[in-house]
Amino acid sequence: QKEVEQNSGPLSVPEGAIASLNCTYSDRVSQSFFWYRQYSGKSPELIMSIYSNGDKEDGRFTAQLNKASQYVSLLIRDSQPSDSATYLCAVNVSPNYGGSQGNLIFGKGTKLSVKP
């Protein structure tokens, strides 16, 4: 059973602080990793994608990938109250073959609360 694990939280940080969100996955052949943000009652919105070991930065967001440890993280710098949402880690678990690009396996999400 391929699994993606996240701490459900809630994670509470003060405005302006760094929020650190973590995710582990079980399938070693996973190739693509994504962080989505989901506001209550809304659809997942892509925040970051990462495919290689190391860090990838985009504005206030940094994704980190360690394939040896099967670990993905998301750092949010200068956290804002508008960042309060559930953050979903998603992993593409299928290798590409034929007509398949694979599907996403999601974690349960970490609820982030940024206090003003």
Does the protein bind other proteins through residue 23 (CB under 8 A)? no
The residue range among 18-26, 66-74, 76-84, 92-100 that interacts with other proteins, by the rule CB under 8 A, is: 92-100
Does the protein bind other proteins through residue 106 (CB under 8 A)? yes
* Least separation in angstroms between CB 55 and other proteins: 17
The pair of three-digit structure tokens given for residue 108, joined into one six-digit string:
């349960």
Q: Which is nearer to other proteins, 48 or 114 (CB)?
A: 48
Give the closest residue to 7 by CA, choosing from 18, 28, 23, 25: 23
Binders in 32-91 for other proteins, by CB under 8 A: 32, 34, 36, 42-46, 49, 51, 88, 90
Q: Which of 105, 110, 112, 114 binds other proteins (CB under 8 A)?
A: 105
C-alpha–C-alpha distance, residues 14 and 12, integer Å: 7
Q: Is 60 helix (H, G, I), strand (E, B) or coil?
A: coil
- Chain centroid, CA 33 distance in Å: 8
Is residue 90 a contact partner of residue 30, using CB atoms and an 8 Å limit?
A: no
Which residues on neighbouring strands pair with residue 56, listed in sequence order? 63
Residue ranges in contact with other proteins by CB under 8 A: 31-32, 34, 36, 42-46, 49, 51, 88, 90, 92, 94, 96, 98-109
